[in-house]
Amino acid sequence: MLDPWRERDACGVGFVARADGARTRDILSLALTAVARLAHRGAASNDKSGDGAGVLTQIPHRLLGVGPVERVALGMFFLPPQGVDEAVDLIEGALVSLGMSVLGWRVVPVDAGVLGPLAAASQPAIRQVFVGPPSGPANAQAWERRLYLARRVIERRAANAGLEIFVCSLSCRTVVYKALLVGTELPGFYADLRSPLFETGIAVFHQRYSTNTLPSWPLAQPFRLLAHNGQLGSVLVE
């Protein structure tokens, strides 16, 4: 018989949202509180490097000083620390080739001091890119499809170039903040998550418990669209 205690050995995941869709700071605060209370559903190594935690939210337009809604897309990237310039050139080339414009880059403010040694040793450079839409009438759904295609092009070009580029999110609607840590440390690592200007109407949160794969920065969740609390095997999560 399976020990009932082992039923707790799984990732923790949840979702917070406002029924009226209004963007507020409270939604993110609730999500961060919830993921911090899921420590028992996650795991950490003996140096306290967590298996991964994160949140998916709407793009915080007030915090980033961009808008209006769905007129500026945001990409969140893990880039190789020793190859940032080359990675940036590759990403910009892919976006421009698909008719979009690169409006600028942002170094995401982080505090590496909250990471365990293993997580710190593998920490990528974390960057955000602001993207302008293709020419023509604005259509958020069509733009999301174009951004999905851009991500796939970036991934293939990066693989061919031998660059470790991971696209956490690339969307005109949402952004993913995640890291190789436990949920209690998430707002300590990302200064953005502590800002009163970070407003969202939705938030998916996740605390990972690794099963058949070792912890890594890319495997932290949420993914680009969702999060899960079980083993999906060979199912591809986009």
Catalytic residues: 11
| Interatomic CA distance for residues 103 and 42, integer angstroms | 37
Q: 47 phi and psi, to 5 degrees?
A: -105, 15
CA angle 73, 14, 122 (to 5 degrees): 65
Q: What is the 3-state secondary structure (H, E, C) of 187-199?
A: HHHEHHHHCCCCC
Q: Residue 44 has what DSSP assignment?
A: B
> What are the tokens at 24?
């507020």
Q: How far apart are CA 153 and CA 203, in angstroms?
A: 28
Which residue blocks in 106-139 are alpha helix, DSSP H? Answer: 117-121
**What is the rounded CA–CA span in Å between residue 147 and residue 95?**
8
Q: Is the dihedral of CA 109, 65, 54, 238 positive or negative?
A: negative
Q: What span, in angstroms and rounded, lies between the C-alpha atoms of 185 and 235? A: 29
CA distance 25 to 105: 24
Q: Which two tokens stand for residue 94?
A: 């892919």
